[in-house]
Structure 1
Amino acid sequence: MTKTTNTGSQSKQQAGMLENLRPLIVDVAVPLGSYYFFKGAFGMSTFAALAWSSVVPAVRTVWSVAKERRVNGLAALILVVNVVGLALSFVAGDPRLMLAKDGAVSSTIGIGILVSVAMGRPMMTAGLKPFLVKGDAAREAAWERLAAGSAAGSAEFLRKERLFSVIWGVVLLAECVVRVVGAYTVPVDTMVWLGSLILVAAITLGMVVCGGAAAEPMAHLVTDEAQRQDAERERRLAVAA
């Protein structure tokens, strides 16, 4: 009986994790993966690959506006990034400008993230939540209480949530600056491979800084709130008994 219960609990957690990851998969992984698929497998130009990979975020954005009466921030941002990439793809003939193009895309994402923080809807939360909630119903409920401002640790939680997105926005803007400077100061042959290294370094830096400054404290707050709620439930059951 215990084994069956544990299996059912694990299945629910896995289903919850998948549901939380769905927006991230649809809005980020699908467009990014389709871009490289179209460009690599079908030999499409950068323009064509960006255009076709824009279909999913475009549909998501239009659907959100038409049916849900709201703009899906993550889908809209990916759409904007692709549009910027399409616009820059018209510029040809200057290898250094083409190398700097990737930096411009990073800056678009970074600015979008910072704007979302200023609007009170930190965009990077969608990517963080699945890893802190882990598909667990108690942690999911604890997250919602903290995010809604109804829990004891809500103020700190919301500060860390904003900080998480701010760090990523600043890191991406810094990565853009380094790429653009490198595109016009480093030999082209060197910058071709160095650009990818800069991106990896920026992502690694963002993960390390965000982990210690925001993600880990938020995880502790979620755990504490879930435990507090469990203790309160047990207290009520003891009183009722």
Structure 2
Amino acid sequence: MLQTTTTTEAATETATEATTEAAAQRRALLQSLKPLFVDAGIPMAAYYVLTRGCGMSTMAALAWSGVVPLARTVWGIAKERKLNALAAVMLVLNVAGVLLSTVAGDVRLMLAKDSAGTGVFGLVVFAAACAGRPLMSAGLKPFATKGSAAKEAAWERLSEQSARFRRLERRFSAIWGGALLIEAVARIVGAYTLSPDVMAWLGNVIFGVAFVAAMVVGGGAAADPMEKMVKEEAEAAA
């Protein structure tokens, strides 16, 4: 009877520890996703709310939705002495959007403008990857570490000590940047070579294909090996 009680208590304690650990990992994952939500999610949501929900003009909505990235960029430089890469990219996109919203023209020009955001983003990400600054790592890290403190520590060690890991980081960003840049070029070419009626739906298809291609190629060529390295590093450290 005593043995059964002890076994039950041990099982209960193990289950409680597992539940507590799972909850801690969920909290850590949400915390790691916070910069992605604040720097990218809020500006994008604000833009659509202001334009479609409040009827604000494109220029005004872009300007207001750029307040958060601007504040985050200035705060990072002033207080932390470093550039918040994701916030800076979103700020560049907002500025480019404001400038392009002043351009008036025919239907083809309006269709070509639709690809400006992804084109600027892709160019910045690709150029930064070539310069050794993989901007897409901020978005990949939470999914590779899954909120585990051990995996986050492993990521940081690999990012500092492993040349192969850093190459994979740059490769992942370069793939995404290149895919979005190609998508933008393809949509611009299509805007001036195909009929507007065709590009009205084909533009979304091109974007979808580029997005899926970046996920598949980036996953197989970089994200999956990185996640495996992180797991192995965390297990080795444990």
TM-score, length-normalised on structure 2?
A: 0.91
RMSD of Structure 2 on Structure 1 (CA): 1.2
CA displacement 1:177-213 (0-9 Å, x = unmatched)? 1010011111112212221221111111100000100
Mapping 1:21-40, distance limit 5 Å: 21-40=33-52
Cα separation, 1, equivalents of 2:165 and 2:75: 31
In structure 1, the residue matched to 2:215 is 207
In structure 1, the residue matched to 2:115 is 103
In structure 2, the residue matched to 1:131 is 143
Cα separation, 1, equivalents of 2:84 and 2:149: 24
Q: CA deviation at 1:105?
A: 1.9
Q: Which amino acid aligns with 2:63?
A: A
Indicate the SS of the match to 1:139. helix
In structure 1, the residue matched to 2:192 is 184
Q: Which amino acid aligns with 1:206?
A: A
Q: CA deviation at 1:41?
A: 0.6
Q: Max radius of gyration: which structure?
A: 2
Mapping 1:87-98, distance limit 5 Å: 87-98=99-110
**Percent identity among equivalent residues?**
53
Select between 214-223 and 105-114 the one with higher mean Cα deviation. 105-114
1:163 and 2:171 equivalent? yes
In structure 2, the residue matched to 1:145 is 157
Indicate the SS of the match to 1:114. helix
Moved over 3 A (4+): none
Cα separation, 2, equivalents of 1:183 and 1:135: 43
Cα separation, 1, equivalents of 2:137 and 2:120: 18
1:175 to 156, 174, 183: 183
Cα separation, 2, equivalents of 1:24 and 1:159: 22
> Which segments of 5 or more consecutive residues in structure 2 lack a partner in the other structure?
1-12
Indicate the SS of the match to 2:114. helix
> Which segments of 5 or more consecutive residues in structure 1 lack a partner in the other structure?
231-241
CA displacement 1:39-66 (0-9 Å, x = unmatched)? 1111122112211111111111111112
Cα separation, 2, equivalents of 1:52 and 1:193: 29
Distance 1:50 1:180, change over 3 A: same
Aligned residues: 226
Q: CA deviation at 1:125?
A: 0.1
1:119 to 111, 131, 140: 131
Q: Which amino acid aligns with 2:16?
A: T
